[in-house]
Structure 1
Amino acid sequence: MNSVDLPQTTPKQIQGDILVVDDTPANLALLRQMLSARGYRVRVSRSGELALKSAFAMPPDLVLLDIKMPDMDGYAVCRALKENCHTRHIPVVFLSVVESTHEKVEAFRLGGADYITKPFQTEEVLARVEHQLLVQRQKIQLEREIRDRQRVEAVLRESRALLSGVLNSSLDGVSAFRAVRDGQARIIDFQWLVANPMAAQTVGTTPTDLVGRRLLEVLPEYREIGLFENFVAVVETGKSVEREVYYESPRFSGWLQVVAVKLGNGLTVTVRNITERKQMELALHAANIELQDRANHDGLTQLANRRRFDEYWSQMWEYCARQGQPLSLILSDVDRFKAYNDTYGHQAGDLCLQKVAEALRETVTHPRDLVARYGGEEFAVVLPQTEGAGAIRVAQRLRNAVRDLRIPHKSGGIGKIVTLSLGLSSLVPDERGSPSASDAIAAADLALYRAKSQGRDRLCWQLVRSHSGDRTDTNPSC
């Protein structure tokens, strides 16, 4: 494995403690190099047993764990870490040379936080490591806030004698109200009985000035955002209410956590400013969405990756089977791509794949259709609710779109340009499972093989028809 040249930096402080576990010295050296350059403290272990001893002795912030190792594989190491109370919280990122759905499912089932496929891409490794450490820090901070809040609430419940002192020193707004009823005993408002300094500060007055005043007189917007109705329900039903609301007024703009608890013919209300925490949660949610998006897209071509193809193909198969709708699949392969790489170099090969991918993406425009990088120089197109004739027209447009790029290829066929061979299968899926989803993929793959063996730069197809019983007919054609 070639080493990666990274910028030499002198970090001001250690960014995190990372334990790397891999039985291949070259992998350990590469990961140590790229992570140390970013300011991380890196420990390495060449076996699962040594890794556990190191983790138990001094728990790291993150573990990068190879799956395939002799004696004790990564799954066993992860299981041992998660069973130990001192290490179960440590995020584990699995490393594997095989991008297998089964392997990934097992990794996540055992508690893995993420998955990186070898050979390593520096930007991907650093992005995933930094994301996991960020998530871990935010999780710790959120847990600390929750514990702090629980401690405060426990003190309030356990000692009413300290209520006055707690109210006056609380960073939350705390108020107590008495229900105001009309002649028919319906609650029409609430009257302040107690208000601590923070509650009074929120509405721009003093605790003394608030006592005796009515809620809707001071805060009429509470009716508009539904809090007044929530308070009525608390008094009438006895059930507490906890809400997070976005609140805007001339004095405040942000997120509030409102907790209301019944108290006699009224209630107590605690209001906490959770704007910073909410922003953190929203940022974490956005980061998770971004990570999910990265997990479903190919880094080179920005198309859907094989994982996303497998997932979408399965979903569309089940959908079309239920609806009795046709489903078509196109598998395509860049002709003589190895010769292209040998002639122009791998960097030019990557650029070629990007151009081909862009041409495919621009040609397949229907929202329900999916273009994916199937592997290497191979691409797949899923066409739900598309019969064979329509799929053939799409495939021909794809072939022409790549030819129109006029990418020079000295070792190519006629015209000395980059071309595509395409194989297509089309059928109406059968809920009884004959033929199966894998049969349809195999049919498209066979058609692609026939296209390449018959001279490349052409389309062949298999139109699959399911009948009663287990028999499946195919119509091969080019």
Structure 2
Amino acid sequence: MKVLVIEDTVTSATLVCHQLTKMGLLTVHARDGESGVEMFKRDRPDLVLLDIIMPGMDGFEVAHRIRQLEQDGDWTPIIFLTARASENDLQRAIEVGGDDYLVKPVSEVVLKAKVNAMRRIAQMRSSLLVLTRKLDDANRELTRLSSVDGLTGIANRRRFDETLHREWRRASRTGKPLSLLVIDVDHFKLFNDNYGHQVGDECLKAVARTLEQMLRRPPDLVARYGGEEFAAILPETELDGALAVAEAMRAGIEGLGITHRFSSTAGVVTVSIGAATMTPDRGDEHGFVSLLKASDEALYRAKKNGRNKLAASLSGMTAQIG
């Protein structure tokens, strides 16, 4: 433990440093306030013993400067050690950042007790900071897990709902389009029933990874919407751009070549995708329900027309793509 002693009287400083050394502490000595502040910057001591009456900058100003130098979360105990015994001085010392106030001369027993008390408080505070950081990390991890689908590792329905609502509100402010893709794994129940749930789970994981790989920008989000259904939010994206992403997804899933002998669409796992694009009116905070409905209707048309296809909806009109 390093102690900074800021004291202009050599005899007093020598005595205090000697007492601290006997306690097994490392001491550094400054003879005035200016040099004391500079030594605090340089050495970052664990404890400061500070006189009030000094040439130039007095102890009150020194304590104030030290507190200004500390970053958020920092705390260095400051004990005023002075010949001034008035209650006003004690009050001011605490107000400017001091933690204790001793009137000289101080016995070695009292000084040791005070130093040990500050050391114990510092250790408790350090332990509390460590615990706080661990709790913060745990809370961040819980928040992350609460937004991640446990099977596929991509965003879950909760995060999807939050993101869609947020992006719709943002689009209503900016006047930019918002696109939504709803993706369904074709004939997945037959796949699951015939190949087993474990193989079905691995299939969904592969589909999720591939869908996520097809996203082009950080704001884009793909989520597991429910069961074998996924959804992708594409902010500031026109319909043509959304369809380009959808086609990349469709082709990517087909290109995985996951065998599906029970599919009437193809011999491999495929997906059908419904796309919808809307530009919200300014101040419209709930129109995303219409966007969801439009993309669902487009998906229904894609499935009705043979699956492994895209269908798009714009301003309430739905068209099959490919």
Q: How high is the TM-score relative to the length of structure 1?
A: 0.49
Bigger mean CA offset, 333-342 vs 427-436: 427-436
Aligned position for 1:436: 287
Structure 2 match to 1:427: 278
| Higher RCO (Cα < 8 Å, 6 or more apart) | 2
Query: Residues of 1 paired with 2:211 and 2:161: CA distance?
Result: 19
Secondary structure, counterpart of 2:216 in structure 1: coil
Out of 217, 225, 240, the residue aligned to residue 389 of structure 1 is 240
Change (3 A) 1:204 1:434: closer
Bigger proportion of residues as strand: 1
Tell me, which stretches of 5 or more residues in structure 1 are unaligned?
1-171, 181-190, 247-254, 465-473
Q: Separation in 2 of the partners of 1:197 and 1:456?
A: 86
In the alignment, structure 1 residue 283 sits paired with structure 2 residue 101 = no
**Counterpart pick for 2:190 among 314, 339, 346:** 339
Q: Choose 308-317 or 195-204, whichever is displaced more.
A: 195-204
> What residue is the counterpart of 1:310 in the other structure?
161
* Aligned-partner SS, 2:272: strand
Q: Counterparts of 1:319-398 in structure 2 under 5 Å?
A: 319-398=170-249
SS at 1:340 equivalent? helix
CA gap 1:223/1:263 in 2 versus in 1, 3 angstroms:
farther
Cα distance, 1:197 vs. partner? 6.7
CA deviation after TM superposition for structure 1 residue 275, in Å: 3.0
Is 1:222 aligned to residue 40 of structure 2?
yes
User: How far did 1:235 drift?
Assistant: 2.9
Post-superposition shift, 1:447? 0.8
> Which residue of structure 2 lines up, in the alignment, with residue 235 of structure 1?
60
Query: Is 1:455 matched up with 2:277?
Result: no
Distance change (3 Å), C-alpha of 1:318 and 1:264: closer
Q: Confirm whether residue 407 of structure 1 aligns to residue 258 of structure 2.
A: yes
CA shift in 2, pair 1:258/1:361, >3 Å: same
Is 1:301 paired with 2:152?
Answer: yes
1:244 CA drift (Å):
10
State the partner residue of 2:319.
477
CA distance in 2, matches of 1:296, 1:193: 61
Whether 1:204 aligns to 2:22 is no
For residues 314 and 222 of structure 1, do their structure 2 counterparts lie closer, same or farther at Cα, with a shift above 3 Å needed?
Answer: same
Asked if the contact 1:332/1:423 (under 8 Å) is kept, the reply is yes
Cα displacement string for residues 113-146 of structure 1 (whole angstroms, at most 9, x for unaligned residues): xxxxxxxxxxxxxxxxxxxxxxxxxxxxxxxxxx
Within 5 Å, which residues of 2 pair with 1:58-207?
Answer: 204-205=26-27
Change (3 A) 1:218 1:446: same
From the two aligned structures, give the one with the greater helix fraction: 2
Equivalent residue letter for 1:439: S
Let me know the Cα RMSD of the aligned residues: 4.0
Write out per-residue CA displacement over residues 258-307 of structure 1, whole angstroms, 9 at most, x where no aligned residue. 35587478663465243332222111111111111100100110000000
1:214 is displaced (CA, Å) by 4.5
4+ long deviations beyond 6 Å: 172-180, 191-200, 225-228, 231-234, 237-244
What is the alpha-carbon distance in structure 1 between the residues aligned to residue 58 and residue 147 of structure 2? Answer: 45
Moved more, 215-224 or 195-204: 195-204
Q: CA deviation at 1:179?
A: 9.4
1:161 matched to which residue of 2?
A: none
Query: Are residues 242 and 432 of structure 1, via their aligned partners in 2, closer, same or farther at CA, if it must alter by over 3 Å?
Result: same
- Structure 1 or 2, whichever has the larger Rg, is 2
Given residue 345 of structure 1, which amino acid in structure 2 is its aligned partner? G
When residues 308 and 221 of structure 1 are mapped into structure 2, their CA distance, relative to the original with a 3 A threshold, is farther
Give the Å deviation of 1:373. 0.4
1:179–1:449 distance in 2 versus 1, CA, 3 Å: farther
Give the Cα separation in 1 of the matches to 2:24 and 2:69: 16
Cα distance change, pair 198–277 in 1 and its aligned pair in 2 (3 A): farther
Taking the aligned partners of 1:294 and 1:333, their CA distance within structure 2 comes to: 24
SS at match of 2:75: strand
